[in-house]
Amino acid sequence: MLRKKRGVKQYDMARALGVSPSYLSKIETGAQEPTEKFKSSCAKYLKTTVDRLFNESAVEDIYPEFANGLKNKLWAVRREMGIKQYDFAKKLKVSTPFLSKVELGLLEPPEDFKTLVSKVLKMEKNELFLSSK
């Protein structure tokens, strides 16, 4: 999330860190656990600390500047429930990049997706999606 919010392309960051874009993608989606060396490299590259970058807290708690402007609470709720993005995307039968764009507010999901997410998470749509009617 921090990489995307700062406008850094995944390919560029992966190359700068000496890893493949697919490896970085797996780390970002939770499909693979990062090494300590990788965590340190990421933190240095993004000019933050390992503790702030790799943690279990909601992103809004660590980076308050991200709390404003988010169109949904999907990312925070998913993390709070301990669900990895890759696993959640698979359960919803959508691609990880699609889910990532929805969580970042870069893409407004269709109503049927919102309904499915609320059913899977056992929450009301208006609790997850601020723009829901």
Best mean pLDDT range from 57-66, 68-77, 113-122: 113-122
Identify the pLDDT of residue 17: 93
Phi then psi for residue 72, to 5 deg, are -155, 170
The answer to the question of residue 133 being in a domain is: no
Number of domains forming the structure of the chain = 2
Tally Cβ neighbours within 10 Å of residue 35.
Answer: 10
The answer to the question of residue 65 being in a domain is: yes
Tally Cβ neighbours within 10 Å of residue 36.
Answer: 9
What residues make up the domain containing 24? 2-54
| CA–CA gap between residue 129 and residue 133 (Å, rounded) | 9
Residue 74 sits in the same domain as residue 115: yes
Identify the pLDDT of residue 133: 43
* Tokens coding 63: 């980076």
Residue 86 sits in the same domain as residue 113: yes
Residue 50 sits in the same domain as residue 9: yes
> What is the chain's mean pLDDT, rounded?
83
The answer to the question of residue 39 being in a domain is: yes
* Cβ proximity of 102 and 74 under 8 Å: yes
Find the mean pLDDT for residues 43-68: 74
Residue 119 has pLDDT above 60, yes or no: yes
- What does pTM read for this prediction? 0.54
Residue 8 belongs to domain with CATH number: 1.10.260.40
